[in-house]
């Protein structure tokens, strides 16, 4: 089925890590008054490659809905077609345009908001930034309902902690937002967390259970309860490459978590 294509005009492009060749983009959809979407969804970019073949790639929306604008966070993939097409868009004032369709996807926060563990590596931070903006809108009413929100972000080096200043500033003013970047190849002078995200996720869950007097592993849910009636007091949202997503899912299953509590988006 042909999808309606929208033309998105580049409004801002910023290289947020030279080392990782990661870019933050702001696009405007001039033909629309607003572009509503749920934080965590993605758009599909469409472009013709050098062989005349139409290529489509998904990119998570890296912000909460904001008028007729949307933001992306994309890193160059070596030899990749679309990521380079985006990263090579000429800087302003020329800017240029891309074609997209969307929004798409079901990687969204459960309502009402519960305690939530957001887990990302690399550009998997994109939908998490959207979640965080939607829970703690700048200048708007807090939508987190006082629930505990942990953002566990894994990357190799300090230079690839995307949007660090934003998340640190939010954590400093919002006591229920916990920002936990962890480095797998930290330099000697790094004083923050080290290692892989799954270790830290397990620790958060153990500490939370101890605080609430809950036992681990969580006892299995009665299979007679219909899926639609299952409500949990904590969910995990995981985004990144499949290897990391699988490791975190396995770890959570080992702690007795139900599969409905684990919401994930895989980039590969």
Binding of residue 160 to ligand FAD (CB under 6 A)? no
The minimum distance between CB 159 and ligand FAD, in angstroms, equals 17
Binding piece for ligand FAD, criterion CB under 6 A, among 67-75, 91-99, 141-149, 224-232: 67-75
DSSP calls for 44-104: EEEEE-TTS-EEEEEEE--S--BTTEEEEEEEPPTT-SHHHHHHTSPPTTT--EEEEEEEE
Q: How many residues bind ligand FAD (CB under 6 A)?
A: 20
The minimum distance between CB 242 and ligand FAD, in angstroms, equals 10
Binding piece for ligand FAD, criterion CB under 6 A, among 71-79, 140-148, 181-189, 205-213: 71-79
- The tokens for 61 are 């929306």
Calpha distance 161→236 (Å, rounded): 21
Binding of residue 73 to ligand FAD (CB under 6 A)? yes
The answer to whether the CB of 59 falls within 8 A of the CB of 105 is no
Question: Please, what's the b/e burial string for 132-152 (b: 16 or more CB within 10 A of its CB; e: otherwise)?
Answer: bbbbbeeeeeebbeebbbbbb
The answer to whether the CB of 161 falls within 8 A of the CB of 152 is no
The minimum distance between CB 153 and ligand FAD, in angstroms, equals 14
Instruction: Tell me which residue has its CB nearest to ligand FAD.
Output: 80
Binding piece for ligand FAD, criterion CB under 6 A, among 57-65, 141-149, 164-172, 204-212: 57-65
The minimum distance between CB 89 and ligand FAD, in angstroms, equals 13
The answer to whether the CB of 170 falls within 8 A of the CB of 198 is no
Which residue of 47, 80, 101, 156 would you call a contact of ligand FAD, by CB under 6 A?
A: 80
Kindly write out the interface string for residues 109-148 of this chain, putting x where it contacts ligand FAD by CB under 6 A and - elsewhere. --------------x--x----------------------
Which residue of 16, 46, 58, 209 would you call a contact of ligand FAD, by CB under 6 A?
A: 58
At 70, phi and psi to the nearest 5? Answer: -145, 160
The minimum distance between CB 237 and ligand FAD, in angstroms, equals 13
The answer to whether the CB of 192 falls within 8 A of the CB of 168 is no
Between strands 193-194 and 177-183, the pairing is: parallel
Binding of residue 75 to ligand FAD (CB under 6 A)? yes
The minimum distance between CB 124 and ligand FAD, in angstroms, equals 7
The CA-atom distances, in angstroms, between 84 and each of 6, 21, 79, 80, 93 are: 20, 10, 8, 6, 19
Residues that bind ligand FAD (CB under 6 A): 42, 57-60, 73-75, 77, 79-84, 123, 126, 265, 267-268
């Amino acid at each position: 089925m042909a999808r309606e294509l929208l033309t998105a005009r580049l409004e801002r492009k910023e290289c947020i890590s030279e080392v990782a060749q990661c870019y933050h983009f702001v696009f405007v959809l001039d033909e629309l008054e607003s572009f509503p979407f749920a934080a965590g969804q993605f758009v599909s970019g469409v472009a013709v490659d050098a062989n005349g073949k139409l290529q489509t790639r998904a990119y998570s929306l890296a912000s909460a809905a904001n008028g007729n604008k949307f933001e992306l966070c994309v890193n160059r993939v070596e030899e990749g077609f679309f990521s380079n097409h985006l990263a090579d868009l000429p800087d302003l004032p020329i800017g240029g345009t891309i074609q997209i369709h969307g929004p798409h996807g079901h990687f969204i926060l459960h309502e009402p908001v519960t305690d939530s563990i957001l887990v990302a590596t690399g550009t998997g931070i994109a939908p998490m930034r959207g979640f965080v903006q939607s829970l703690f809108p700048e200048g708007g009413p807090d939508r987190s309902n006082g629930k505990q929100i942990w953002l566990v972000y894994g990357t190799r080096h300090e230079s690839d902690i995307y949007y660090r200043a934003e998340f640190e500033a939010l954590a400093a003013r919002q006591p229920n937002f916990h920002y936990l970047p962890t480095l797998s190849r930290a330099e000697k002078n790094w004083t923050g967390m080290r290692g892989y995200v799954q270790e830290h996720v397990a620790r958060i869950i153990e500490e939370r259970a101890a605080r609430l007097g809950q036992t681990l592993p969580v006892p299995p849910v009665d299979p007679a309860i219909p899926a639609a009636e299952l409500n949990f007091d904590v969910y995990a949202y995981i985004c990144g490459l499949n290897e990391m997503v699988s490791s975190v899912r396995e770890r959570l299953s080992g702690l007795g978590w139900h599969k409905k509590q684990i919401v994930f988006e895989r980039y590969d």
